[in-house]
Amino acid sequence: MSAAGAGAAVRARGSFCWRAALAFVLPLGMAAKVQAGGELFGAEIAALVVLPVLLLTDGRRTLGGGGGLLLALAGVWLAGQVATDLAVGAPSANMAKGAARVVMLAVLLAVFLALIRGRARMAGWAALGLGAGLALQTLADPDALQRALPVKFGYGPALLLAVGGACALCRVPRWLRAAAFAGVAALALGEGARSLALIAVLAGVAEAVRPRAAGAEWRRLVLGAVLLALAGGTFAAGYGALAGAGALGPEQQAKHARQAGSDLGLLAGRGTVLAGLEALAENPWLGRGSWARDRESQIAHLRLLAEAGVPVDLERPVAEGRVVAHSHLVGSWLEGGILAAPFWIAALWLCVRGLARVAGGRAGVLAPLAIVAALTLGWDVLFSPFGAEARIKAAFALAVLVSVREGARA
């Protein structure tokens, strides 16, 4: 090898080392939180610091193609949020928090794009770091949900990320990957984390049957969707039988009975989504404003539950509460107006495209992580509130899916 070639190899190795270290260490900052008008994670502070450097060295990688479109849609969302807040007269503190939430999501997305876009191994290191950060946060400084249900909201998602990241970094037999996902599903099911268990089951099935050779993406995706639907139906039936018989404990038995006895099923615990959709049907254009509070949305939530057969007390006084929905899409639209919707609709499309790449055998070593990212993000966009830590997890998942869509090299 010539001296010039050797020097280039050394520089490339050095670049890989510092990027891998940054990809792993930055999401570890989830373990540290500060209060700055709202909740801010150490990972977000670190992202603000390193973004200018990454833009100088990898601006084209960050701003081009699908990643650039997502960042542009985040800008549209921000404009809609600010316009909505001004129109409804939101308090200045709420306006600042609403704008900062969108800005930080965009900053995190830009950083993850610069680090992992087109680099499969970087995505693996970032997944391990994010999983470790989530586990450390749950251990050292848990929020209320993590304190009450540490596996469902902390250790379980962390383990799922770690399995996906390890698959991107290590060449292990396919059966072992599928078994690892099955282990996460068993742990989650034992702790009553049904949605996490379902995602892990679907990820394990998808990893077990995904093709090795490239082929027709959409035809295989349809077949894969049918298979995943069968797997999901089998899981739901099995869970219903176990929970109904009390094999998973009295709490899961009571929860299953409450949901099975209503017309909402899964949405019995997510009635705010339906209340939000009802509010959007009345006025889909203008949102309620950042951190808006009212009594009407709380009353609508209880009324919808009662109409579906969920036992609720409609006679008790209803206090004013924050307008929120168990859905990234519905909640953001409800607060920021219609201009908040395109970003999350594009995110859902990326989830579908990511699964299509996996089904077509074109995701390479990122296939297991792409499955985790697509299923987790798709679920969160539809059924989970857009909380503080969701910014980091959503930004990472989007960067992985952009990388898969465009073809990542090892």
**Domain ranges (residues) in the chain:** 39-263+324-406, 265-322
Per-residue confidence band for 11, with pLDDT thresholds at 50, 70 and 90:
very low
pLDDT at 93 exceeding the cut of 80 = yes
| Cα separation, 94 vs 289, whole angstroms | 8
| Cα separation, 350 vs 205, whole angstroms | 20
Residue 397 burial (CB < 10 Å; 0-12/13-18/19+)?
buried
| Cα separation, 145 vs 364, whole angstroms | 35
Q: What is the DSSP letter of 293?
A: E
DSSP string, 216-276: -HHHHHHHHHHHHHHHHHHHHHHHHHHHHTTTT-HHHHHHHHHHHTSS-GGGGG-HHHHHH
Query: Per-residue pLDDT tens for 126-151?
Result: 999 999 999 999 998 888 888 988 99
pTM for the model stands at: 0.87
Q: Are 119 and 369 in contact (CB under 8 A)?
A: no
| Cα separation, 134 vs 157, whole angstroms | 8
- Give the rounded percent of residues in the chain with a pLDDT score beyond 70: 78
Across the chain, mean pLDDT equals 81
pLDDT at 171 exceeding the cut of 50 = yes
Q: Estimate to the nearest angstrom the gap between the alpha carbon of 70 and the chain centroid.
A: 15
Per-residue confidence band for 348, with pLDDT thresholds at 50, 70 and 90:
very high
Q: Are 367 and 401 in contact (CB under 8 A)?
A: no
pLDDT at 1 exceeding the cut of 90 = no
pLDDT at 299 exceeding the cut of 60 = no
Comparing CA positions, the residue from 76, 71, 72 lying closest to residue 339 is: 76
**Looking at residue 10, what is its pLDDT?**
42
Per-residue confidence band for 203, with pLDDT thresholds at 50, 70 and 90:
confident
Per-residue confidence band for 95, with pLDDT thresholds at 50, 70 and 90:
very high
Asked which of 256-270, 346-360, 371-385 is least confident by mean pLDDT, the reply is 256-270
**Looking at residue 214, what is its pLDDT?**
62
CA atoms within 13 A on the CB side of 240: 13
CA atoms within 13 A on the CB side of 298: 13
Comparing CA positions, the residue from 384, 121, 201 lying closest to residue 276 is: 384
Asked which of 102-111, 164-173, 279-288 is least confident by mean pLDDT, the reply is 279-288
Residue, of 59 and 409, whose pLDDT is higher? 59
pLDDT at 239 exceeding the cut of 50 = yes
Return the CA Rg of the chain.
22
Comparing CA positions, the residue from 248, 259, 202 lying closest to residue 228 is: 202
**Looking at residue 9, what is its pLDDT?**
42
**Looking at residue 224, what is its pLDDT?**
72
Query: Per-residue pLDDT tens for 61-86?
Result: 667 777 889 999 999 999 999 999 99
Q: Are 332 and 344 in contact (CB under 8 A)?
A: yes
Q: Are 332 and 394 in contact (CB under 8 A)?
A: no
Query: What number is the average pLDDT over the span 165-191?
Result: 87
pLDDT at 12 exceeding the cut of 50 = no
**Looking at residue 6, what is its pLDDT?**
45
Per-residue confidence band for 256, with pLDDT thresholds at 50, 70 and 90:
low
**Looking at residue 8, what is its pLDDT?**
42
Q: What is the DSSP letter of 299?
A: H
| Cα separation, 199 vs 232, whole angstroms | 9
Backbone angles phi, psi at 41, to 5 degrees: -90, 155
